[in-house]
A = this chain, B = another copy of it.
Amino acid sequence: MIITVTLNAALDVTYRVPSLRPHTTHRVLDIAERPGGKGLNVARVLADLGHHTVVTGFAGGPAGDELRRRLAAVTRADLLTDALVPTAGPTRRTVGVVDAASGDTTMFNEPGPTVSPAEWASFVEVYRSLLASGEAGAVALCGSLPPGVPVGAYAELVREARSAGVFALLDTSGEPLRRGLAARPDLIKPNADELAGLTGFSEPARAARDARRRGARAVAASLGAEGMLAVTEEGLWRALPPGRLTGNPTGAGDSAVAGLLSGVVEELPWPRRLARAVALSAATVVAPAAGEYDRAVYEELLPQVKVDAAG
């Protein structure tokens, strides 16, 4: 079983409009709603790969109810367990307005609910009991922190995972990432910007080595069209997708996290973990719906990902 944590979950809403014109009124052509937030995206892909996954974090209010209803209706809902903790404040919506003419998206992200100290304590209790169940093979700690959650939250959650002997992957940015590193997560998955922001180095290999010095046991950096770069105690790898893919990169990083984590619990060697992450990521970019991945494309690309040990 894999745990994914989404402290700042969202109901992702997509509005398609004929053409976006500021300061006018738009008829929305159609609406799509899906459970959002990085950890929930990761969980959906993990379940699709056949892994029993428990999602936790927070959900509240009408958008939280809708999120949970939709989570219970995903393709492999049989493999997903909802252990979200209720909040009094409402789960945020993220509204993406897609211009049907140009295909461009304009995002409006609501602030998350303020999490009370009692709600945070309830969450930590649920998280601890999941770790203590003896079934957890890994945990993914994903995304930003909602107001009210202590900025050192991820350090605490990484420590809990490590003391329970559960592999901890941390995928966040800014100060929560910086603080989280102090607790020595087993793996972080920054993108190029996040890695540069953390370390001050723009060259990915140098930055990844620096991130390891700051506390990460391993770093798998997602570099967009350049695939992934991993620096672990065993060495350095570069994984490249076959050719350039165009599409919507939303959720590609979350699919990569699912690929890495599935490889961890299946005890695959690093090159195979990376190949899976890169193929899933690419299959997410080309899928028509944001945040979904194309299974056939994934299976076609997987053997074509080139992984080189370098350094």
Contact = CB atoms under 8 A, between A and B. Distances in A.
Contacts of A63: 62
A128 B25 CA distance: 35
Interface string A1-44: 00000000000000101001111111111110000000000000
B15 A110 contact: yes
B23 A105 contact: yes
Interface residues of A, number: 30
Question: How many chain copies does the complex carry?
Answer: 2
Nearest to A23: B104
A62 B99 CA distance: 26
Interface in A200-246: none
Contacts of A62: 62-63, 65-66
Interface of A: 15, 17, 20-31, 62-63, 65-66, 95, 97, 99, 102, 104-111
Q: Which 6 A-B pairs have the closest CB atoms?
A: A25-B107, A62-B62, A23-B104, A28-B110, A26-B108, A22-B106
24 contacts: A15-B95, A15-B108, A15-B110, A17-B108, A20-B22, A20-B23, A22-B99, A22-B104, A22-B106, A23-B99, A23-B104, A23-B105, A24-B106, A24-B107, A25-B107, A25-B109, A27-B109, A27-B111, A28-B108, A31-B111, A62-B62, A62-B63, A62-B66, A97-B108
